[in-house]
C-alpha cells in the first residue's frame, strides 16, 4: 500500500471516529412530540397555528400535551374548524394556554395546589396532591424531557376562559 493510500485511510478513519464522538443533539419539544406518535393532532394544530418555530426555540417551555385521543373527545367538527385559517387566532389561544414558561417537572409541584400562568395569559389550575390534574385534564405521563423543556401528557384538551 502506498504512503498516499495509508494517509487517506488514516484521515478518513480519524474523521469518522471524531464525528462518532460528537454528542447527538437532543430533540426539541416539537420533535419529541412527533417522535412519540400519539400527538399527530397536536402537531398538526401547532403547524396550522404557526407555532412550530416558537416551540423549537430556546425555551424552556412546559407543555401540557393532549393526545390524539384527547382531541377526539372534543365535539365532532371542533378540530377541523380550529384548523381553518380563519380560526387561527382562537387556535393560537388554545394552544398557548397549554404552555407554561420555564421547565416545570412533576417533582417541582408534587403535593401542591396552585395556579400557573400560561403563555396565553390565563392561569391554569394545577392540583398535584393526588396524581396531577391540570384544569379538568389528568396528567397521564409526566416529565418527558426535551432539550428546550418538558412535556406532560394530558388526557383532555384544556380551554382558556376566552
* Residue 96 pLDDT: 97
Query: Which of the four CATH numbers 2.60.40.1180, 3.40.50.1400, 2.30.180.10, 2.40.128.260 does domain 26-154 have?
Result: 2.30.180.10
Q: Which residues contact 101 (CB under 8 A, 6 or more apart)?
A: 60, 61, 62, 117, 119
Tell me the domain boundaries of the chain. Answer: 26-154
Q: If we measure between CA atoms, which residue out of 140, 133, 141, 131 comes closest to residue 158?
A: 133
Report mean pLDDT in 10-residue bins for the chain, 162 residues: 42 38 65 92 96 94 97 96 96 97 95 96 96 96 96 97 73
Q: Give the CA-trace dihedral at 146, 114, 91, 35, to 10 degrees.
A: 20
Amino acid at each position: 500500500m502506498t504512503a498516499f493510500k495509508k494517509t487517506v485511510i488514516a484521515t478518513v478513519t480519524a474523521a469518522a471516529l471524531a464525528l462518532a464522538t460528537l454528542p447527538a443533539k437532543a430533540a426539541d419539544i416539537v420533535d419529541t412530540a412527533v417522535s412519540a406518535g400519539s400527538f399527530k393532532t397536536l402537531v398538526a394544530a401547532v403547524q396550522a397555528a404557526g407555532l412550530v418555530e416558537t416551540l423549537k426555540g430556546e425555551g424552556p417551555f412546559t407543555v401540557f400535551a393532549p393526545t390524539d385521543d384527547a382531541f377526539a373527545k372534543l365535539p365532532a367538527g371542533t378540530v377541523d374548524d380550529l384548523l381553518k385559517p380563519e380560526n387561527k387566532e382562537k387556535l393560537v389561544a388554545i394552544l398557548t394556554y397549554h404552555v407554561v414558561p420555564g421547565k416545570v417537572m412533576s417533582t417541582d409541584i408534587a403535593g401542591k395546589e396552585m395556579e400557573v400562568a400560561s403563555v396565553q395569559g390565563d392561569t391554569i389550575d394545577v392540583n398535584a396532591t393526588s396524581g396531577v390534574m391540570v384544569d379538568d385534564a389528568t396528567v397521564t405521563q409526566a416529565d418527558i424531557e426535551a432539550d428546550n423543556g418538558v412535556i406532560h401528557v394530558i388526557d383532555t384538551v384544556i380551554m382558556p376562559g376566552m
